[in-house]
Amino acid sequence: MAKLQNGNELIFRVAIAVPVYRLFDYLAPEQFESAHIKPGIRLEVPFGKAKKIAFLVECVQHSDVAIGKLKRVERILDEKPLLSTKDLALLHWASRYYHHPLGEVFSAAFPVALRQGKSVVIQAEKRYALTDAGKAIDSELLKRTPKQKSVLEKFQAHQHSLSEAELSEWNENWRTSVKQLVDRQLLQLAASSEFGASASESIIRNTALQCNPQQQAAITAVCDSLGQFGVFLLEGVTGSGKTEVYMQIIRTVLERGQQVLVLLPEITLTPQLEERFRQRFTVSIAISHSKLTDRQRACAWLTMQRGECSILLGTRSALFTPLKNPGLIILDEEHDASFKQQEGFRFSARDVAVVRGKLLNIPVLLGSATPALESLHNVDNKRYRLLHLPERAGDATAPVLQLLDIRNKRMQEGLSEALVAEIHKTLARNEQVLLFLNRRGFAPTLICHGCGWVARCGRCDANLVIHYDEGILRCHHCGQEQRLIKHCPACKTGELTPLGLGTERVEKVLAELFAGKTIVRLDRDSTQRKGALENYLQQINQGSVDIILGTQMLAKGHHFPNVTLVAILDVDSGLFSIDFHAPEKLAQMIVQVSGRAGRAEKPGRVIMQTRQPEHPLLTTLIRQGYNSFAKTALAERKDASLPPFSYQALLRAQALDAEMPKLFLHAVAELAREYTKGHTDILGPVAAPMARRAGLYRYQLLFQSGKRPELHALLNVLMPKIEKLKQAKKVRWSLDVDPVDLY
DNA sequence: AGCACGCCGACT
DNA sequence: GTCGGCGTGCTC
């Protein structure tokens, strides 16, 4: 029934993943079942020369486009929408809030396979489990078939089934051995879904740990609020037992027959948590992050959508996964900047999670040892409820933080004599040392001792970083590389000298100073190889490593129980950034790195080398802790009318031409001034902190208002006009609502 | 984002 | 005389 009663054709208004702030109208397909026509269904439509997948937004009777120009929907792909009405409302909200085209927002919510129009019938990946015979057998009996023996041991070490993906992650060549073990009836194909454990069957596998009163209070607070919206900020230092709190709350949610979405900032953190969850819960757990194949992600998405799986563990992009029976959203390490998407649809997974929780009427649990200032502010204004875990669980004591004044001290490649002595003492006690330096490579600068020439990137406003191991100079911003040169290209005579410190360089001096000790360097360069990080972590935890040296990567999640001394080699570099977020990020980094030490019975110490021993950020943090720092920092933000006491949106523009981005933003600023009525400040345009990157010149324009509605009202009128601006066609531009870094 | 249309340089 | 460079504009 394509015709309406009045003789007009029914119009399908759809969203398509193109960077255009507009929906498209189509004629209804030749034939369709009107009962199936619900917002959110996927359609195949002709678009320009190509066919595209579109998402139905609404059906209307009239189109502003001449009827003759309308094309017809080619095919209806779904019998019913894959997203609930509430999740569709969430996407509409996100599109409006982030001023991003609805089609692209829809696209972000779907896994690639479904975005491309694939059918929802996707083969789930196989899982294998031990048979009773497999559980009972002594693996030594298989010593003549070592490959099968090791596979068997892998299964026996876990109490649960393993998926094809997990096996591949462990060892690429598992298939033959698994097949042989299946033939010997030691392994079997696990039930396609472990979910649906009948009520009589237990959801949990092993018993929960004993909780302290604060943990218990947190568990009770969230559990009492199940079935209604509320945001909880679970603040607990490393080792305070946040994960145990999560697991006990999850158990209650599962017992209610509901699902849980757990978001983490990084892929590297998923295996640990997955393992703990699998040890605890019998229900099936889906995983979703960018290192998985499209099929695996689509599979995780669909099993959650159908309610065949109870827990989803994923990164930022898993936020939009539909839940048949939503019960709870957990977002761990909520302060982490990785939750903010930094390109395209620039959403904050934390903020969208809160809105989703509100729409679904379920609680949202945010966890961190170092909550974002914004979240603490939301506690102050009663939007979030604080759940505090002040103590370290068990007997572990908190590490002692101290500043090491290195002014006028003799330094050897960034290491003061005092620090070297401390490292020696620690190693003598057979304990591990962890050194943190947030700069990879050998040295950040190559300078000519003769004429002052510096190796610069030809495409960015940045110096090339020396990577001695690879014999190259590399730009850390655009990735461009060139061979490491020996002679100055400018004066031809001068000697080229590395200036500054990177992890490679510190590693080299450590090898000299602590000859005979095992040193492991953990940074993006040393862990590029698949499985390299896991390998190193295993070595470290087995105690075969004495000194661990690394970047950022060390600050997140991994625990090093035998580390008793942590040193932050260069804390000062974080003190002088132009970005107002820098002190917050630095304080979080210090506390997070500190959390790596002193977990077991051995107390930990944290030494920070500084030339600013009186710096208020450092002294407040050390003497009074993160919360006092946060109070001070929030007070400063308030005085300066910075977020969270004001609201920002940053318009960025870049182009090959040096002038166009500035001209474009000037035109926008001029337009904006016509509409703002003084409620919103228009700051700039100014050159971006890195004015040129990957060959493109970059400018930015900041909008800031004390009232969010004012800011959004301005952006609402501005965006369509920006799109039509003639200068807009000569630059690449993007809007970033609530920017977290001003680069 | 794709993809075609369109007006200026080195090739059979 | 054409092939093709990527600037510009459109997609219901």
Q: Can you tell me which residue has its alpha carbon closest to the C1' of nucleotide B2?
A: A50
Give the CA A23 to C1' C11 distance in Å.
Answer: 11
Distance from CA(A109) to C1'(C4), angstroms, rounded: 39
- Find, among A75, A115, A109, the residue nearest to A92 by Cα: A109
The number of helix segments (H) and strand segments (E) in chain A equals 21, 32
β-pair type (A311-314, A259-263)? parallel
**Strand C positions with any atom < 7 Å from protein CB?**
8-12
Distance A739 CA to C5 C1' (A): 38
Kindly report which amino acid residue has its CA closest to the C1' atom of nucleotide C10: A48
CA A634 to C1' C1, in angstroms, rounded, equals: 72
Q: Between the CA atoms of A128, A132, A133 and A138, what dihedral angle is there, to the nearest 10 degrees?
A: 90
Whether A211 has a binding-site annotation, put simply, is no
Q: What is the CATH number of domain A11-115?
A: 3.40.1440.60
* A29 CA from C7 C1′ (Å): 37
A51 touches strand C (CB under 7 A): no
**Beta-carbon count within 10 A of A581 CB:** 19
The answer to whether the annotation marks A457 as part of a ligand binding site is yes
**Cβ neighbours for A622, distance < 8 A, ≥ 6 positions apart:** A401, A402, A403
Return residue ranges of chain A for CATH 3.30.70.600.
647-737
Per the structure, the residue whose CA is closest to nucleotide B3 at C1' is A49
Cβ of A246 < 7 Å from strand C?
A: no
Residue A451 annotated as part of some ligand binding site: yes
CA of residue A245 to C1' of nucleotide C4, angstroms: 64
Query: How would CATH label the architecture of A213-389?
Result: 3-Layer(aba) Sandwich (3.40)
Return the pLDDT at A196.
42
- Residue A6 confidence (pLDDT): 57
**Contact of A137 with A185, CB cutoff 8 Å:** no
Nucleotide with smallest C1' distance to residue A25 CA:
C12
pLDDT of the residue at A466:
95
| CB A334, CB A352: distance < 8 Å | no
Minimum CA–C1' distance nucleotide for A24:
C12
DSSP alpha helix (H) spans, A307-409: 349-360, 373-380
In sequence order, what are the beta bridge partners of A162? A128
**How big is the CA angle at A586 (ends A329 and A739), to the nearest 5 degrees?**
55
Q: In this structure, which topology does domain A647-737 adopt according to CATH? A: Alpha-Beta Plaits (3.30.70)
Pairing assessment for the beta strands A230-236 and A363-368 based on DSSP bridges: parallel
Below-50 pLDDT ranges, chain A? 1-2, 192-200
CA dihedral A134, A140, A143, A148 (to 10 degrees): 20
Q: Which residue is nearest to nucleotide C9 (CA to C1')?
A: A729
* Contact between residue A296 and residue A165 where contact means Cβ atoms under 8 Å apart: yes
DSSP per residue over A445-501, as a string? Answer: EEEETTT--B-B-SSSSSBPEEETTTTEEE-TTT--EEEPPSB-TTTSSSBEEEES-
* Strand C atom within 7 Å of A664 CB: no
Q: Of A533, A414, A521, A419, nearest to A468 (Cα)?
A: A521
CA–CA separation, A556 and A119 (whole Å): 38
Q: Between the CA of A686 and the C1' of C6, what is the distance in angstroms?
A: 29
Task: Find which nucleotide's C1' atom is closest to A47's CA.
Answer: C11
Q: Give pLDDT tens digits for A25-81.
A: 999 998 898 888 999 999 999 999 889 999 999 999 999 998 889 999 999 999 999
Total residue count of chain A as it appears in this document: 743
From CA A254, how far away is CA A508, in angstroms rounded?
A: 51
Residue span(s) of chain A under CATH 3.40.50.300 come to: 213-389, 400-443+500-636
Domain A400-443+500-636 has CATH 3.40.50.970: no
In sequence order, the 6+-apart residues with CB closer than 8 A to the CB of A616 are A632
Q: How far apart are CA A501 and CA A499, in angstroms?
A: 7
- A478 belongs to an annotated ligand binding site: yes
Instruction: Give the gyration radius of chain A's Cα atoms.
Output: 28
Q: Write out the residue limits of the CATH 3.40.1440.60 domain(s) in chain A.
A: 11-115
User: What's A340's DSSP letter?
Assistant: B
Residue A195's pLDDT is 43
The whole-angstrom separation of Cα A601 and Cα A470 is: 41
Measure A457 CA to C10 C1' (Å): 37
Q: Which of A318, A348, A321, A324 is nearest to A336 (CA)?
A: A348
Residue A48 CB lies within 7 Å of the nucleic strand C:
yes
CA of A734 to C1' of C10 (A): 20
d(CA A273, CA A260): 14
A708: which residues sit within 8 A by CB, 6+ positions away? A647
CB atoms within 10 A of CB A557: 21
Q: Which strand B bases fall within 7 angstroms of a protein CB?
A: 1-4
